[in-house]
Each structure stands twice: as structure tokens, then as C-alpha cells.
């Protein structure tokens, strides 16, 4: 038996007066999702703790049964997704170049998204590409636009604060060691190195010919690098070793391919078109045919992107478009006794307020021959709360999947030196002459 997990990114939301105080999912006409709810076991899901707002890659990482403290950081995940050279022990930070204005001794963010063509982005990135000091070597590795990854190599620590305040008008921040590491020489040295790099970058970029030309033309100089979310590349047990399942991740976007590399899961690249329902149907078809895998993660980002527009009506329409693809699941996937079909989301992306993602739970449904069917017949953030799964957290999800695949191990049995939660484990036969 195998599992197909459909993840509707950022699906959860808040109530909106424009939708008669319903969430976009409650307000949307979703006959197929509702049918799946009526055939399944339902509940609510949060990848970590209720109320905590998680970025997608971290929420996915926790859903796959890894621990928060094992997370290598978004910089590492993005770098691997972009095919950049990141090795075990490297620290990777998200880095951007933008406009700052010096006021007294502070550098205030003026434009976080400067209007620059591709060639100008590369010229500025090259100007601050390499920097070596205090036994640490930094390299700015461009990704998209003016963004990139700042890779640190040497005796480096990930336990340092951000320098990017994200919000325009706020000052760039001094990098400090995290409180718990304030006496750690490696964290102190890494923070000192980053502050030196940021000061050097500001001076270098401010004097750059491209910025002199911009100032001459009345444009703001693009003159400072800022960093956030330091992470460290470290070896992790693969998804297959951890759960006994050969995993495949079907998604659009480098971030998810990087995540696949972090957890040792194969990835299939797909592209979004202007037909989100058609795109998702094709992904479900690929998943259904991929019988060589035991766990297939099917991802769509359109629900999250609709939430980020702040328009609940648009999100409702996107959910309705997605629902059309689920007709295929009802006809083909759900009736197949060899499949556990799961639909959920990684986090909520509210169409109101100022938070990037939000901390509310998301709905969850599981269908398969070993589930315990409940009375829920509508798939949304409120109806699913009455279902038989109650509240499921990230650290429980993979155990539930093993259970409903009928692959869970009786706790305490040790058929391998690692306490693997699945059966049969990677046991060694006793040999006799
Ligand atoms: Zn997400």
C-alpha cells in the first residue's frame, strides 16, 4: 500500500466579512473536496504549535517527521534547490542587496525591492561576491533578481541574528550571537565577520560606478547587503531510512527541490500554467502512475499565492479551480484500495492582516481502506474539527500515515539497531553454517 499526500499550500485562512464571515475554503463551492471528506477521516493539522506561523519549507520539513532543531535553514534549502555548491559544515544565509539611507550612524532601508535589470543585479552582486577575514570565507551566490545566498565557509556558526529588518524605514541590524551562544567563540567570530562584511559591502556598493550613475540620474543607490535566517548544512537520515518509504516530491519551484535534496527524497519538476485545476490534475495523474514510490507528495502553491494577494474572493476562486482536479482523485485514487489518500496544507496564509503566513490550523482528511470513517461531509477549517482525527501535529503525521498504511511497528520491538517505526524493518538474518 502507498500514500499520496496532496498539499494545498497556505490553504487555511480567517473569516472575512466579504464572504459572510466564512473562510475562503468555507465559502468556496468544493463538491469534490467535500465528497473526499465524507469518505474519510477528518481533523485539523498544524505542523508545529497552534498559533506559530511557519514558512513553507520548515512546515514541510516538520510534516516529514524531522525535528525543528534539525532544520538546516532556508538558505541551505534554497541553495540546494538552485544547484549551488553548499557542503556539510557551510553556513548559508538569505542575502539581498537594496537601497539604504545613512541617518546619523544607522542605515535605514529605503527600497527592499529596487528596480534593477538583470545585468545591473549581476554587476552589484559581483562587487560584493567574495570577502575573507577572521578565518572565514564568504561568497555571495546569486539566485533570482537581486537576491542570493551568502555562503560562509571555515569555522562558522549558524547561531547568529539577522541583519535584514525586512520592513522599509527600519535600520539594518547588527549581527549578534544568539543569547544561548553568547559565550561561544565561533558564534561571536561569525557575528563579527558578518558585521565586517556588511560594512565593507555598504562602502563598496556606495562607491560603485553603477550607483554613482544612479545618483546622477536622481535614482536611489542600491548600496547595502543584508542577511537573514542563517542555517547550516548537516547530514540527516533520509526520508526512506526514517520511515521505510521511498518518497517522491512533485512540485513547482526550486525551494521544494532543495527540500527534496535535504531529506533525500526524489523530486519531479512541474510547471504552473494559467490553468491551476489542469496543472493539479496532471500532478495527481503522475502520482497515481508512480507505483515505484510508497509516499508521493503532490504540491500546489496557487492557494498560498492567492492568500498573499490579500483578496479572499480570489482565494475562493482559486480553491474552486483546484477542486475541479479532485474529480480525478474521486474517480481513480480514492477507490483504489492500495492507496492512502491524504489532503491537507502546510500552514495558513490569511487573506487579511499583516503577517506573512499565519498560525491557524488547516483541515486534514485521510481516505483509505484502514481509516476510521467519521461523519464529516465538508472539507474546511471548521467542519473538519468535528472529525475523528482531532488535532494532528507535524510530529504525528508520519506515524499516522504508517498506521493507515498498516505499516506501523509495535513500540518496543527491535528488528534493527535503529528504532525504526515501520515494519518490516531493515533486519539482518541470522546465519548458520
Ligand atoms: Zn507554504
Q: Do 210 and 319 fall into the same domain?
A: no
Question: How far, in Å, is the centroid of ligand 1 from the Cα of 167?
Answer: 21
Domain closes at, from 174, 205, 232: 232
Name the domain count of the chain. Answer: 2
Question: How far, in Å, is the centroid of ligand 1 from the Cα of 53?
Answer: 10
Range of the domain at 348: 2-72+236-404
**78 domain-assigned:** no
Question: How far, in Å, is the centroid of ligand 1 from the Cα of 358?
Answer: 10
In sequence order, the 6+-apart residues with CB closer than 8 A to the CB of 8 are: 300, 303, 319, 322, 343, 344, 345
Question: How far, in Å, is the centroid of ligand 1 from the Cα of 164?
Answer: 22
Question: How far, in Å, is the centroid of ligand 1 from the Cα of 430?
Answer: 46
Q: Do 261 and 398 fall into the same domain?
A: yes
Burial class of residue 171, CB neighbours in 10 A (0-12, 13-18, 19+): middle
One digit per residue, pLDDT tens: the chain, 433 residues?
999 999 999 999 999 999 999 999 999 999 999 999 999 999 999 999 999 999 999 999 999 999 999 999 999 999 999 999 999 999 999 999 999 999 999 999 998 778 889 999 999 999 999 999 989 999 999 998 999 999 999 999 999 999 999 889 999 999 999 999 999 999 999 999 999 999 999 999 999 999 999 999 999 999 999 999 999 988 899 999 999 999 999 999 889 999 999 999 999 999 999 999 999 999 999 999 999 999 999 999 999 999 999 999 999 999 999 999 999 999 999 999 999 999 999 999 999 999 999 999 999 999 999 999 999 999 999 999 999 999 999 999 999 999 999 999 999 999 999 899 999 888 899 999 8
Question: How far, in Å, is the centroid of ligand 1 from the Cα of 9?
Answer: 5
Question: How far, in Å, is the centroid of ligand 1 from the Cα of 110?
Answer: 28
Cα–Cα distances in angstroms (integers) from residue 94 to residues 8, 76, 78, 88, 238, in the given order: 25, 9, 9, 17, 25
Question: How far, in Å, is the centroid of ligand 1 from the Cα of 55?
Answer: 6
Question: How far, in Å, is the centroid of ligand 1 from the Cα of 140?
Answer: 26
**411 domain-assigned:** no
Question: How far, in Å, is the centroid of ligand 1 from the Cα of 44?
Answer: 16
Question: How far, in Å, is the centroid of ligand 1 from the Cα of 218?
Answer: 39
Q: Do 293 and 391 fall into the same domain?
A: yes
Per-residue DSSP letter, 68 = G
Pairing between strand 362-367 and 41-46?
antiparallel
Q: Do 377 and 263 fall into the same domain?
A: yes
Question: How far, in Å, is the centroid of ligand 1 from the Cα of 217?
Answer: 40
Question: How far, in Å, is the centroid of ligand 1 from the Cα of 284?
Answer: 19
Question: How far, in Å, is the centroid of ligand 1 from the Cα of 345?
Answer: 8
Q: Do 95 and 228 fall into the same domain?
A: yes
Pairing between strand 295-300 and 224-232?
unpaired
CATH of the domain at 38: 3.40.720.10
Question: How far, in Å, is the centroid of ligand 1 from the Cα of 300?
Answer: 9
**424 domain-assigned:** no
Give, rounded to a whole angstrom, the gap between the first and last alpha carbons of the chain. 36
Per-residue DSSP letter, 337 = T
Question: How far, in Å, is the centroid of ligand 1 from the Cα of 103?
Answer: 37
Q: Residue 234's pLDDT is what?
A: 83
Cβ 396 vs Cβ 47: under 8 Å:
no
Amino acid at each position: 500500500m502507498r500514500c499520496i499526500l496532496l498539499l494545498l499550500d497556505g490553504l487555511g485562512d480567517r473569516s472575512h466579512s466579504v464572504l459572510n464571515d466564512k473562510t475562503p475554503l468555507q465559502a468556496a463551492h468544493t463538491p469534490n473536496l467535500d465528497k473526499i471528506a465524507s469518505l474519510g477521516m477528518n481533523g485539523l493539522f498544524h505542523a508545529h504549535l497552534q498559533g506559530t506561523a511557519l514558512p513553507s519549507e520548515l512546515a514541510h520539513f516538520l510534516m516529514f517527521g524531522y525535528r525543528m532543531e534539525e532544520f538546516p535553514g532556508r538558505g541551505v534549502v534554497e541553495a540546494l534547490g538552485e544547484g549551488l555548491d553548499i557542503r556539510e559544515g557551510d553556513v548559508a544565509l538569505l542575502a539581498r542587496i537594496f537601497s539604504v539611507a545613512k541617518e546619523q550612524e544607522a542605515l535605514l532601508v529605503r527600497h527592499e525591492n529596487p528596480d534593477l535589470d538583470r545585468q545591473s543585479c549581476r554587476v552589484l552582486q559581483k562587487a560584493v561576491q567574495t570577502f575573507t577575514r577572521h578565518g572565514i570565507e564568504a561568497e555571495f551566490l546569486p539566485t533570482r533578481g537581486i537576491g542570493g545566498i551568502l555562503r560562509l565557509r571555515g569555522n562558522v556558526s549558524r547561531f547568529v541574528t539577522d541583519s535584514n529588518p525586512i520592513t522599509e524605514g527600519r535600520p539594518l541590524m547588527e549581527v549578534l550571537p544568539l543569547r544561548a551562544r553568547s559565550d561561544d567563540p565561533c558564534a561571536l567570530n561569525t557575528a563579527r565577520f558578518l558585521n565586517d562584511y556588511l560594512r565593507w559591502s555598504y562602502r563598496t556598493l556606495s562607491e560603485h560606478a553603477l550607483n554613482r550613475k544612479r545618483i546622477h540620474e536622481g535614482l536611489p543607490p542600491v548600496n547595502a547587503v543584508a542577511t537573514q535566517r542563517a542555517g547550516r548544512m548537516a547530514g540527516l537520515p533520509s526520508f526512506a531510512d526514517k520511515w521505510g518509504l521511498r518518497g517522491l516530491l512533485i512540485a513547482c519551484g526550486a525551494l521544494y527541490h532543495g527540500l527534496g535534496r535535504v531529506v533525500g527524497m526524489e523530486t519531479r519538476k512541474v510547471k504552473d500554467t494559467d490553468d491551476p485545476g489542469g496543472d493539479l490534475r496532471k500532478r495527481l495523474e503522475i502520482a497515481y502512475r508512480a507505483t515505484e514510490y510508497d509516499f508521493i507528495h503532490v504540491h500546489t502553491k496557487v492557494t498560498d499565492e492567492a492568500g498573499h494577494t490579500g483578496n479572499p474572493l480570489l482565494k475562493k476562486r482559486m480553491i474552486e479551480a483546484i477542486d475541479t482536479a479532485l474529480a480525478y482523485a474521486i474517480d481513480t485514487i480514492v477507490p483504489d484500495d492500495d492507496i492512502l489518500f491524504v489532503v491537507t496544507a502546510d500552514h495558513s496564509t490569511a487573506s487579511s492582516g499583516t503577517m506573512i503566513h499565519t498560525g491557524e490550523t488547516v483541515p486534514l482528511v485521510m481516505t483509505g481502506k484502514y481509516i476510521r470513517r467519521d461523519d464529516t461531509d465538508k472539507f474546511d477549517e471548521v467542519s473538519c474539527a468535528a472529525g475523528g482525527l482531532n488535532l494532528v501535529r507535524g510530529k504525528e503525521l508520519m506515524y499516522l500515515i504508517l498506521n493507515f498504511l498498516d505499516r506501523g511497528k509495535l513500540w518496543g520491538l527491535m528488528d534493527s539497531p535503529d528504532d525504526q517505526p515501520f515494519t518490516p524493518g531493515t533486519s539482518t538474518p541470522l546465519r548458520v553454517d
